[in-house]
A and B are shown apart, each in its own frame.
Chain A
């Protein structure tokens, strides 16, 4: 029973297209995140939601729009895809006190823009 699930696992699309990545967690956590791992393997936070409310919005192009319909779901929509958007996108969730107990990550979505 997957704790944090992301779909799709792989996504290949052309420049200029719009795409969405979905994330769901069944852990009852209040906080969810989107992280981007670029070609240098560096994991960088993009967004964080706490109980459907946006609490972290890093300097991400406004072509990226997160949506949290409820605290178990955090989706990522990307408009007008660019080559530089190619990366692995990880969804994660955490309980209160995540500083000590860490995040639970999904298995990632590998986005390739051609």
Chain B
């Protein structure tokens, strides 16, 4: 039972354009959502998060949007840069359960072309 899904295994965008990565979840108990970026041969690096009481969180070029009714979140990167090429994982956790465990999606590989 995969509770967090990233249905697009890959995405390719031109440098300077917007990248939109999507994530869907099924567990309504999730109340925190995070995005990580991963380069080859490295561990995932935390990027940005959002709690369920918000619908948007912004940090520089990165914005995460949350639609609770649709159980959907997205990460927008504007403008995209070649250095953003990596695998992006979304993750979800529940404050009151699961002892802080984050459940991860299976990642989307973003390629930003110069």
* Chain A residues engaging chain B, CB cutoff 8 angstroms: 4, 31, 33, 35, 40-45, 48, 50, 55-56, 90, 92, 94, 98-108
Contacts and interface: CB of A to CB of B under 8 A. Distances in A.
SS class, residues of chain A in contact with chain B: strand
Given A40-B106, A42-B104, A43-B89, A100 B51 contact: yes
B43 A105 contact: yes
B70 interface: no
Given A92-B43, A100-B32, A102-B46, A41 B106 contact: yes
B43 A99 contact: no
Contacts of A102: 34, 36, 46, 49, 91, 102
Contacts, number: 73
Given A99-B95, A101-B46, A107-B43, A43 B51 contact: no
Contacts of A33: 101
Contacts of B107: 41-43
Contact of A108 (B42, B49, B95, B100): B42
A106 B93 CA distance: 20
A100 B49 contact: yes
Nearest to B104: A43
Contact of B100 (A41, A42, A48): A48
Closest 6 A/B residue pairs (Cβ): A105-B43, A102-B46, A99-B32, A43-B104, A42-B106, A55-B99
